């Protein structure tokens, strides 16, 4: 299998950096490669772009194959193109990386093509195949920046969530604590960031939280400020 050369028109792939939050930790979806090169190594899920589909559709298809998600239950956005001549030992293969943000899936990967896929804490995701370490690092920084200026944080949450759930997203992705009171006021004050669902969380302990759905806003104005370390 060494030296396999893909058909000439298959020189553009898409790779996905799929983030979710499980147990208050940021996780990324990785597969274990079943073929050379990098046989047995962890890698980002991805595949070649088909003749009739555009880049975004290819990314959506891959995401569906790996997670079973479709519709608009996720955030999917292009990160950029990677094209070092030697990035793939099979030959000159360009890849377009996509950042995907999904809620913690109840039945994560059952019934999908990718039973070989698994969630790995980003803190432990090293030594990936190809240039995927670099792509993952870029994706992490992009996700942190997007939390500042957009409403993507809600894409980490299920359909119904509390303000505290949303705050945990910021704390986990940014890796620093946020004042609950000020965060609450800011989220509520930002128009169409979240809309009340009318329900309340069954309280395990303490006052039950009001629940919200994602609002229609996409940009955060003013942004959530992430300061440099104190």
Partner DNA sequence: ACAAAAGTGTTTTCCATACACCCATGT
Partner DNA sequence: ACATGGGTGTATGGAAAACACTTTTGT
Q: Nearest Cα to 136, choosing from 2, 9, 16, 14?
A: 16
Give the one residue of 9, 90, 126, 185 binding a copy of itself; rule: CB under 8 A: 9
Q: How far is the CB of 138 from DNA (least distance, A)?
A: 26
Our CB check for DNA shows the closer of 33 and 201 to be 201
Binding to DNA by residue 197, rule CB under 7 A?
no
Please tell me the distance from the alpha carbon of residue 152 to that of residue 101, in angstroms, as a whole number. Answer: 8
200 binds, among DNA, a copy of itself, none (CB under 5 to 8 A by kind): DNA
Site track 71-90 with a copy of itself (rule: CB under 8 A), x = hit: -------x-xxxxxx-----
Please tell me the distance from the alpha carbon of residue 213 to that of residue 215, in angstroms, as a whole number. Answer: 6
Give the one residue of 1, 2, 34, 52 binding a copy of itself; rule: CB under 8 A: 52
* Contact present, 43 and 33 (Cβ < 8 Å): yes
Binding to a copy of itself by residue 192, rule CB under 8 A?
no
Enumerate residues 155-184 that contact DNA by CB under 7 A: 162-164, 179-182, 184
Question: What Å distances lie between residue 118 and 100, 184, 210, 215, CA to CA?
Answer: 15, 33, 32, 30
How many residues sit in the footprint of a copy of itself (CB under 8 A)? 22
Binding to a copy of itself by residue 130, rule CB under 8 A?
no
* Contact present, 64 and 105 (Cβ < 8 Å): no
Our CB check for DNA shows the closer of 110 and 203 to be 203
Show the CA angle centred on residue 20, arms to residues 18 and 25, nearest 5°: 130
Burial of 216 per CB tally in 10 Å (0-12, 13-18, 19+): exposed
* Contact present, 203 and 164 (Cβ < 8 Å): no
- Give contact residues for a copy of itself (rule: CB under 8 A): 8-9, 11-12, 49, 51-55, 78, 80-85, 92, 94, 96, 221, 228
């Amino acid at each position: 299998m060494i030296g396999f050369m893909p058909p000439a028109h298959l020189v553009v792939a898409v790779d996905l950096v799929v983030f979710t939050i499980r147990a208050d930790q940021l996780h990324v979806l990785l597969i274990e490669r079943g073929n050379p090169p990098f046989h047995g190594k962890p890698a980002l899920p991805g595949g070649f772009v088909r003749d009739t589909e555009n880049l975004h559709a290819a990314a959506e298809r891959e995401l569906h194959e790996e997670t079973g998600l479709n519709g608009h239950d996720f955030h999917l956005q292009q990160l950029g193109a990677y094209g070092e001549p030697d990035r793939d030992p099979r030959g000159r293969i360009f890849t377009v990386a996509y950042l995907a943000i999904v809620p913690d899936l109840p039945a994560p990967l059952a019934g999908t093509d990718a039973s070989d896929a698994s969630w790995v804490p980003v803190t432990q995701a090293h030594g990936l195949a190809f240039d995927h370490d670099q792509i993952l690092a870029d994706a992490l920084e992009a996700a942190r920046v997007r939390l500042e200026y957009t409403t993507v944080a809600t894409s980490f949450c299920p359909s119904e969530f509390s303000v505290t759930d949303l705050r945990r997203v910021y704390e986990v992705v940014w890796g620093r604590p946020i004042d609950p009171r000020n965060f609450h006021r800011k989220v509520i004050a930002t128009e169409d960031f979240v809309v009340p669902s009318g329900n309340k969380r069954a309280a395990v302990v303490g006052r039950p939280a009001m629940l919200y759905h994602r609002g229609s806003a996409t940009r955060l104005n003013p942004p959530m400020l992430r300061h440099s370390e104190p």
